[in-house]
Structure 1
């Protein structure tokens, strides 16, 4: 015996106060293989969507009480329903009404009287978009997990290799067991290994920033953070014979200290490498009128053209062939600052150095009571 098995294509919620419309849509959509839920007004539609979490909502615009626009805004403001696509249904054809619908968060618009083929095409299109988005999100999570695992697996043995190279370098140099060219080659190997380690660390940081859905912002002891950073980059400062100036007191901002350290490390190392000869870096901060604090580091280099400034925060971008590094540092800075609800950027004029800055929300004691 052959059994006919109907496969559901997805769940739909119809929100309409007119039963004739509901029956019409419910009949042919159920025949097409959809599971159909119904609600007779905006409030019931919101409750049903929160409980059943349908794949798509067909929402009437003109309803007594809460109209479709208000119901749509409410659904889009709720975490559990904000990602459900909403298609408005209305006899209104004015552009202003359609624009109002899209501004409320709707994905599409169907005008009455309904054309079955049109309704079906629009429903299928938006369900396919949702499925593709879900697949892409899953693939991105899998790729990120893979990249993070590989980076972790590479970091430990590479750190060991660098340690062994340093031991060999010291021993061979002290005992004069190899010539000057061999010592130079060994130092080049060490430098290459350190660059690889820096890239792996940057990728791990980027993965951590990208995957963080929420970060708790706390008051920052910025002078202490900068002091820690300066100590961490002391080797680089000595290499370039740089000077780093920073005030003992700075305005109190909120953020996530480990990420803010990475911002300063990127800005200061860039300043040491590409600032003046020798580099002289000055750190400062000022409170802005928008309740944000602008932290910055000013170098004494040649400055950048407007064209070069646009390239700085693009991942893997390098200004010229002489630029070292992997081109991820400033793009990571930008992602970190945006996660902390701030902005990052650069101000520069040719011949007057560069001022790299980032903003963070100012600390208000009332926010932590």
Structure 2
């Protein structure tokens, strides 16, 4: 309380002597105080209760109730206990002062009264009272802040515990990609977390019905698993509300007027008294419901419990979506593998069965060409030549197709294979083409790898053969090298041929794809497709770097399983 504020305070003066009252009125009113009077203890207590003065000047020696008793009663009342009391007295004995202080007085003013002393003591105790009130207010504010901080810390601690529990349960739910494991883990963990009597996952079916697909239940309670829920207990309107994210909390199913009678009767079969229901939504559609039952007694479900159950349902939805995607992918892979197997088998059988009739057609056409060449007109000779050429190309195509299909169906088991020896065998197989073209094949010591020896030879033979076939005007040069890169061997086969436009770098590995005319560069377009299939069977990759008229470099990798 400032000096100015102190001067506007209300002072209650209690004295049975009119002269003293007049003197004190003059002192205090001249100093700016509002002054109230009481001539005895009873009226003083009454005025103090309704006027709530800032300070009381109380005479000790009064008829009837003296000042000591008046002070005692003022301090005994909760409404007036905090008002400072200054005794006015002619008594100077120490025992009287000790008694006054013991009753709660803050000071004494000795009669006869002196103006300066009265004002000084009144203002001093008003300031002390103001400071005490400020300190009390500050302490109260600090206590509120401490309490709020404790509540905030408790809420944060609870949130952290809930987050840890959620993370732990979510991890367990999402550890498996098997749908049945996800469902059973979910109900078991949620039941323990919520201390519920039963936790059920309710699966919705397309015909409007539903049934429990996973359940964790207290021993002795009836099981819901396998029970088909009738459509009337779960009408289409409820389905749509849950699809939009509705959470339903029932503290007492028997007293909730919004619960349909048919649902109450259905729940009674399973002793349900309270339930909490949250939706499981996968890919925007309502997959089912996660339901907690309390069967022992009604239960008030808290907002925190509702939020926790919804978060767990969301984690379940993620795990279910991943499991479903994995299941679809596995089925697709199986179907693709089966289709590829059937296609390879068909290609092998078809190619093999075509060999004999094609061999007969080719033989008779060649016989016709040898026997009747020059005996018929020129057109007939051309027709026979075209037929023989077509039959020979078909035989080459069938042989290449057989080679392609055998990569996956008739490959040998991998063994430690010397790459240098594989290149030697490939060069031996290409001796005629190398001699005719004047090609130079350069290679050093190559590593040993875990491979199919026959297929590795076929791989080098096709790549070297391409370097010779697609040559430029200069004599063909092919350089073969290998280096280890982390856990794979990187092979390169470089030539100085006509090169390839980079936009066709992937297309050339597709079966039957050709970039050049058949007359200048004969072939079926299967060779590089065979190379790709061999490399992939060995767990590697193959690619090309090339530009037109600047040669090509084919790279392929094979896992490092041998020695350098």
Tell whether the structures are fold-level matches, with TM greater than 0.5: yes
Contact residue 271 and residue 279 of structure 1 kept, 8 A: no
- What residue number does 2:364 align with? 168
3-state SS, counterpart of residue 423 of structure 2: helix
Are the aligned partners of 2:426 and 2:461 in contact in 1 as well (CA < 8 Å)?
yes
Change (3 A) 1:126 1:308: closer
* Secondary structure, aligned partner of 2:492: strand
Verify: 1:194 aligned to 2:420, yes or no: no
Taking structure 1 as reference, are residues 27 and 152 closer, same or farther at Cα in structure 2, changes over 3 Å only?
Answer: same
Q: Higher RCO, 1 or 2 (CA under 8 Å, sep at least 6)?
A: 1
- Structure 2 gap ranges (5+): 1-178, 204-210, 218-281, 283-306, 375-379
Partners of 1:158 and 1:279 in 2: how far apart?
38
Report the equivalent of 2:418: 221
Do residues 153 (structure 1) and 325 (structure 2) align? Answer: no
CA drift at 1:268: 2.7
Paired residues of 2:417 and 2:449 also in contact (CA < 8 A): yes
Deviation of 1:191 after TM superposition, in Å, equals: 0.7
> Measured at CA, do residues 242 and 130 of structure 1 come closer, stay the same or move farther in structure 2, by a change above 3 Å?
same
Call closer, same or farther: CA 1:13–1:233 in 2, change over 3 Å. Answer: farther
SS state at 1:357 partner: strand
Match of 1:268 in 2: 464
C-alpha change, 1:305 and 1:365, in structure 2 (3 Å) is closer
With normalisation by structure 1, the TM-score equals: 0.59
Q: Is the 8 A contact 1:242 1:279 kept in 2?
A: yes
Count of aligned residue pairs for this structure pair: 281
Preserved CA contact (<8 Å) 1:266 1:329: yes
Select the residue among 359, 362, 365 that pairs with 2:557. Answer: 359
Matched, 1:14 2:170: no
1:63 maps to none
Structure 1 position 288, deviation (Å): 3.9
Matched residue of 1:33: which SS?
strand
- After superposition, what is the alpha-carbon deviation per residue over 1:247-293, rounded to whole angstroms, capped at 9, x for unaligned? 47434333332331232233133223322357624242233464654
State the alpha-carbon separation in 1 of the partners of residues 369 and 543 from structure 2: 44
Shift of 1:114: 2.1
- What's the TM-score once normalised by structure 2's chain length? 0.41
Aligned twin of 1:336: 534
Q: Work out whether residues 242 and 272 of structure 1, in 8 Å CA contact, stay in contact via their aligned partners in 2.
A: no
User: Cα offset for 1:117?
Assistant: 6.6
Q: How many Å separate the matches in 2 of 1:174 and 1:225? A: 40
Secondary structure of residue in 2 paired with 1:303: coil
The answer for the alignment partner of 1:299 in structure 2 is 495
Contact 1:240 1:278 in 2 (8 A): no
The more displaced of 281-290 and 188-197 is 281-290
- Deviation readout 1:73-120 (Å, 9 max, x if unpaired): xxxxxxxxxxxxxx9xxxxxxxxxxxxxxxxxxxxxxx9442687466
1:347 equivalent to 2:545? Answer: yes
SS in 1 for 2:505: helix
Q: Partner residue of 2:212? A: 33
8 Å CA contact 1:293, 1:360 repeated in 2: yes
* Distance of 1:127 and 1:37 partners within structure 2: 21
**Aligned position for 1:81:** none
Q: How does 1:74-153 map to 2 (within 5 A)?
A: 112-114=308-310, 118=314, 121-122=317-318, 124-153=320-349
Question: Aligned partners of 2:423 and 2:468: how far apart in 1?
Answer: 15
- The corresponding residue for 2:53 is none
Equivalent residue number for residue 104 of structure 1: none
**Cα distance between partner residues in 2 of 1:187 and 1:145:** 32
Assess if the C-alpha contact under 8 Å between 1:302 and 1:352 holds in 2.
yes
Cα distance, 1:279–1:361 mapped onto 2, change above 3 Å: farther
Instruction: Select the residue among 451, 454, 464 that pairs with 1:255.
Output: 451
Aligned to 2:385: 183
2:351 touches 2:401 (CA, 8 Å); kept in 1? no
Q: Please tell me the root mean square deviation across aligned C-alpha atoms, in Å.
A: 4.3
Pairwise CA distance, 1:154:
1.0
Question: For 1:223, what is the secondary structure of its paired residue?
Answer: helix
Distance 1:353 1:146 in 2: 38
Larger CA Rg, structure 1 vs 2 = 2
SS in 2 for 1:304: coil
Secondary structure of the residue aligned to 2:545 is strand
State the alpha-carbon separation in 2 of the partners of residues 127 and 228 from structure 1. Answer: 49
How far is 1:197 from its partner? 3.5
Q: 1:134 to 1:166 in 2, by over 3 A?
A: same
Summarize the Cα distance change of 1:19–1:334 in structure 2 as closer, same or farther, 3 Å threshold: same
Contact 2:543 2:556 in 1 (8 A): yes
